[in-house]
Structure 1
């Protein structure tokens, strides 16, 4: 059972790794367009859709970014299917992802469509074998017909409506939490703890994807909270090497400098070499620190003013930017002080790079969510 779950996790992580560059690039484009507008005192560029000049150009740039962001479900489903069945799963996966968007089934629908399309394609490849000159009919005609047809039936007839209703209810529930200060704190603590738990693993990526899925629906605060948590672990361990240098071997001190850089740009995996020294003590520390950082930012009233950008420098894309920075630095200090109290890094083995397959290495938490 564990082996099967590991395989499923691998396919999901592969799908996420392929969409990261698209989401990050598109989010940066939207953010830059918004900044141009704000520079002219304009918060809504839609008013310049038919105008001329710089603001019209900013509007067009913003639309380019939103077009890229809108591909998230399509690409996620397509590349999950690709991970399972190689090229044979792409067509049905992409179409299933598009149907997840059009039926408002969202991220959950895209994941289901991707796995369904991939495993159907794999089954067809294994079970339908034609020999001779007609062998080319399988990949070009029979396989696309069956996979696209069944995936389309699943998403448009069977699951589209129920998943759309579920997704809408979930979004409304999250919006209600965002509007309620107490619930916002709970949301911050949960998302922060998930980010800190496994540093780029499935729990971390689930929180990241939740932020991105809500981002597509115009709910930006969860993405901001995720972005804050993402910078904390690498920044915290980098800070720890500065607070008490003699507690770290030369190799760890060097890794700490890298951690500071990774924290600034938002790559949670920069904390993994430190966490591996004593996971039983440091994983709980990471969870507490990330939850505390996101929670402090929420209490101080961090809020959205545009699609948020990840990394420590993403503070300029949020309201109450100082709350963003205070939250991130609070979490980093929890790790910076706590790691020195809990573990002696000078007597442990040198940091090792965690073993991941090549596809999973491509993942990171350059969050912007749009997040990690």
Structure 2
């Protein structure tokens, strides 16, 4: 099995695409049960809120790792990888090696299954046993044994140590940690850097650590709302900073921001890269830090403002998002230069301006 960065990413992203709907459905069910039944809903075993909570809890605690393990194994070795992926994924859940263990197990399964398909030769009359007996049984046995005894235990120890480290961070350290996560998430508006943070925060989500996803969630909405605030300030203070095409696109940032679709900011960043990126990074960093010191927890992978009621400390999240959006929008308004009527109509190539070294921050009332 040939592996390079692009191939590994392709297989992992396949697993993520299968896993996210499970995380979203399970997380919303669990959070909804807690909202209806209160923090002690797990003790009310005969109630409707308990049933809703338990549906989500079973999905998050039992199903996430087997699903991503099976999906990655399927991406690597096709259908013969599904059954061992599910079973060995359950092994990873049992030994508490979590998301990371599931990913490593999936690649191990893919390697073993592909090796068996290539090297085991059976008589033609027995070929039908390969996909339903030989490959599932032996790949499950080999990979499950290795995860139980050799590979899985060190991973489980690392996951436990890292989770304990996050839980024991001081308030100041939590703020810095959240700032880094927010800045990374707000850097490239759904690009590879943002996707890397999404992968990390989703991994923490499946291991029961909900804080990192809060910073990523916030950054996904900060820049669209920041553009709206910058536009409002440009109207209030009569400083034209958007081209005609940008002004027509501003309104799309509202529904996109509500739905956590940060890609809506890409057209604005393409026209004025460093100012838009810098504003987004600073606003998202501060908001991300606030989510961590205020104890915001996000149990779902996506959903925008519609799933905020399912958060731990939803009021803290809304306040942090408001602060980050105001900072982002204000910085964008101050940093972006005033446009002439011609530039407003036809746009401006910022990269060709030799005198564009200091932003025009004058305000006309």
TM-score norm. by structure 2 comes to 0.79
SS of alignment partner, residue 164 of structure 2 = helix
Partner of 2:48: 57
CA positional deviation for 1:188: 0.8
Shift of the 277–315 alpha-carbon distance from structure 1 to 2, 3 Å rule, reads same
Q: Could you tell me how far apart the structure 2 residues matched to 1:86 and 1:335 are?
A: 45
1:156 lines up with 2:152 in the alignment: no
Unmatched 5+ stretches in structure 2: 350-365
RMSD: 3.0
Secondary structure of the residue that 1:159 maps to in structure 2? helix
2:182 to 164, 186, 192: 192
| Rounded Cα–Cα distance in structure 2 between residues aligned with 1:282 and 1:117 | 44
Alignment of 1:274-313 (within 5 A): 274-277=268-271, 279=273, 282-298=276-292, 301-304=294-297, 307=299, 311-313=304-306
In 1, Cα distance between the equivalents of 2:234 and 2:155?
51
Cα distance in 2 between the residues matched to 1:142 and 1:174: 43
Q: Find the counterpart in structure 2 of residue 93 from structure 1.
A: 85
Contact 1:31–1:307 (8 Å) recurs in 2:
yes
Q: Which residue of 2 aligns with 1:225?
A: 215
> Are 2:316 and 1:323 equivalent residues in the alignment?
yes
Q: Is the 8 A contact 2:222 2:257 kept in 1?
A: yes
Counterpart of 2:159? 167
Name 1:9's counterpart in structure 2.
9
Q: Which residue of 2 aligns with 1:36?
A: 36
Residue in 2 aligned with 1:19?
Answer: 19
- C-alpha deviation, 1:284, in angstroms: 4.3
Instruction: Report the equivalent of 1:235.
Output: 225
Cα shift readout 1:71-124 (whole Å, capped 9, x = no counterpart): 111111111122222222212222222111111111110111122222332333
Aligned to 1:43, the other structure's residue is in SS state coil
State the match for 1:108 in structure 2. Answer: 100
In the aligned structure 1, how far is the partner of 2:179 from the partner of 2:140? 41
Deviations 1:17-75 (A, max 9, x none): 111111111111122212212xxxx32112211x4xxxx01101100011122211111
The verdict on how the C-alpha distance between 1:29 and 1:132 changes in structure 2, with shifts beyond 3 A counting, is same
Mapping of 1:262-273 within 5 angstroms? 262-273=256-267
Distance apart, 1:280 and its partner CA: 5.3
**CA–CA distance in structure 2, aligned partners of residues 47 and 135 of structure 1:** 52
CA offset at residue 171 of structure 1?
0.8
Does the aligned pair in 2 maintain the 1:77–1:114 contact within 8 Å? yes
How has the CA–CA distance of structure 1 residues 174 and 298 changed in structure 2, closer, same or farther, with 3 Å as cutoff? closer
- Cα gap change, 1:212/1:5 in structure 2, threshold over 3 Å: closer, same or farther? closer
Structure of larger gyration radius = 2
User: After the TM superposition, which of the residue ranges 127-136 and 116-125 deviates more from structure 2?
Assistant: 127-136
1:333 is the counterpart of 2:326 = yes
Aligned to 1:48: 44
SS of equivalent residue, structure 2 residue 96: coil
- Structure 2: distance between partners of 1:212 and 1:225: 12
Distance 2:83 2:166 in 1: 33
> Following the alignment from structure 2 to structure 1, what is the Cα–Cα distance between the partners of residues 84 and 191?
27
Against the structure 1 CA distance between its residues 271 and 156, is the aligned structure 2 distance closer, same or farther, given a 3 Å change threshold?
farther
Q: In the TM superposition, what whole-angstrom CA distance separates every residue of 1:325-360 from its partner, at most 9, and x where no partner exists?
A: 2321232234334445348896269xxxxxxxxxxx
Q: CA deviation at 1:142?
A: 2.7
What SS does structure 2 have at the residue aligned with 1:191?
helix
Whether the aligned pair in 1 keeps the contact of 2:180 and 2:285 (CA below 8 Å) is: yes
Deviation at 1:143, TM superposition (A): 2.2
Contact 1:239 1:260 survives alignment (8 Å): no
